């Protein structure tokens, strides 16, 4: 007699589909008390839905460890902090796919390591001038400096002045004063994660405005 199990063979569901189903089951918004206890997966979903506090929670959760990890490669606490900020800007600008949400920590550490090694090679080139060490050596730039280099600086300044005040405050401190994000946060009395988020949002707006302007030429 054939068993019931044989009548109903196991159906294998692709991992991607399982993850998509899990995503649908996650709550769309957070209560104030749930941020710190939320999983990385949940925080990432909220962050990708525009939740600034979710990003701030991720930032607080990993910042200290990422700075310490970067410092092992770069041997400079200040540069390690800069690298950490770059990592989180990358996270905002292009979050990893949902397939790695559960492995957000390893993703952050991998990006930190790559940036730290890259930075170390750049520093070696600056000291030795040996292009064999880093043939594509180029000056470190923040996003708005890169945008300004590619486009008309006067127009960029005009567009910056049209940004909402809370975004313009961050941009002007970062670009005009070259103020670190930690100090920007202290000056504006906002979390450091919020300062990073506002910088990213400013770059997004400026790039979109530039494309709109450029298309009219």
Average pLDDT estimate for 83-106: 84
Its domain, for residue 81, covers 13-138
Q: Are 60 and 52 in contact (CB under 8 A)?
A: no
Residues 207 and 127 grouped into a single domain: no
Q: Is the pLDDT of residue 20 over 50?
A: no
pLDDT at 145: 57
Residue where a domain terminates, one of 88, 113, 138: 138
pLDDT at 27: 54
Average pLDDT estimate for 111-128: 79
Residue where a domain terminates, one of 87, 109, 138: 138
pLDDT at 155: 76
pTM of the predicted model over 0.75: no
Average pLDDT estimate for 171-194: 88
Average pLDDT estimate for 188-208: 90
Q: Average per-residue pLDDT in the chain?
A: 76
Average pLDDT estimate for 129-153: 49
- List Cα–Cα distances, 166 to 39, 64, 99, 139, 162, in angstroms: 29, 26, 34, 28, 11
CATH label of the domain that carries residue 211? 1.10.10.10
Residue where a domain terminates, one of 117, 138, 159: 138
**Does residue 5 belong to any structural domain of this protein?**
no
Average pLDDT estimate for 15-23: 47
Integer Cα distance of 97 and 209 in angstroms: 27
pLDDT at 125: 55
């Amino acid at each position: 007699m054939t068993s019931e199990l044989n009548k109903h063979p196991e159906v294998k569901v692709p991992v991607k589909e399982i993850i998509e189903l899990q995503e649908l089951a996650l709550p769309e918004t957070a209560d104030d008390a749930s941020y710190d206890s939320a999983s990385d997966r949940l925080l990432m979903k909220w962050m990708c839905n525009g939740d600034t506090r979710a990003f701030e929670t991720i930032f607080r959760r990993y910042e200290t460890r990422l700075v310490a990890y970067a410092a092992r490669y770069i041997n400079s606490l200040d540069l390690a902090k800069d690298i950490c900020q770059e990592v989180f800007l990358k996270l905002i600008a292009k979050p990893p796919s949902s397939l790695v949400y559960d492995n957000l920590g390893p993703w952050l550490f991998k990006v930190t390591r790559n940036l730290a090694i890259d930075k170390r090679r750049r520093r070696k080139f600056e000291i030795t001038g040996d292009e064999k060490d880093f043939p594509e050596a180029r000056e470190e730039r923040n996003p708005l400096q890169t945008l300004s280099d590619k486009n008309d600086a006067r127009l960029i300044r005009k567009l910056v002045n049209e940004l909402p005040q809370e975004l313009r405050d961050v941009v002007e401190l970062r670009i005009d004063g070259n103020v670190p994000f930690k100090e920007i946060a202290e000056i504006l009395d906002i979390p450091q994660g919020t300062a990073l988020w506002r910088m990213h949002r400013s770059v997004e707006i400026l790039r979109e405005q530039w494309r709109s302007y450029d298309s009219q030429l």
